[in-house]
Amino acid sequence: MVMVLIVEDEAMSRRALSSLLGVLGYTIVATSSAEEALRVIRAGASPEFALVDLDLPGMSGIELIPKLRLLRPDIQSVIISATYRERLEKAGDDLNVPFLSKPLHLPDLLELLRGHTPEN
């Protein structure tokens, strides 16, 4: 099963994205903070993808992604945010990860996950 880690502080967005991807057959681990996401990874979760909100309480998504890479280099991180790409670049975007604007466009998200469908 393909596992997706969702790191999103907005409860409604987190639930909606979890439900949608769950219906499509993905195994979902959803957290409301970067710190919680790190605890889940340290506890043994093995997601193939991490959908990471940029603006999180406490540690930001930009701070989280390098920490995820240290723990699990094989995780493909994707930044999801309502902010503009220019803001991300100003914040020092050297993360080299895909960026999807909120509200998420489902075909774009599924394109990123393609090749890692639940049937594979």
Instruction: Give the predicted TM-score (pTM) of the model.
Output: 0.89
**Angle (deg, nearest 10), helices 34-42 and 61-71:** 10
Burial-class residue 107 by CB neighbours within 10 Å (0-12, 13-18, 19+).
exposed
Place of tokens 């790190």: 38
Of 35, 90, 42, the C-alpha closest to 63 is 35
CATH of 3-113, one of 3.40.50.2030, 3.40.50.2300, 3.90.79.10, 1.10.540.10: 3.40.50.2300
Mind listing the pLDDT tens digit of every residue in the chain (120 residues)? 899 999 999 999 999 999 999 999 999 999 999 999 999 999 999 999 999 998 899 999 989 999 999 999 999 999 888 876 676 665 545 678 888 888 898 998 999 888 554 544
One-letter identity of residue 13: S
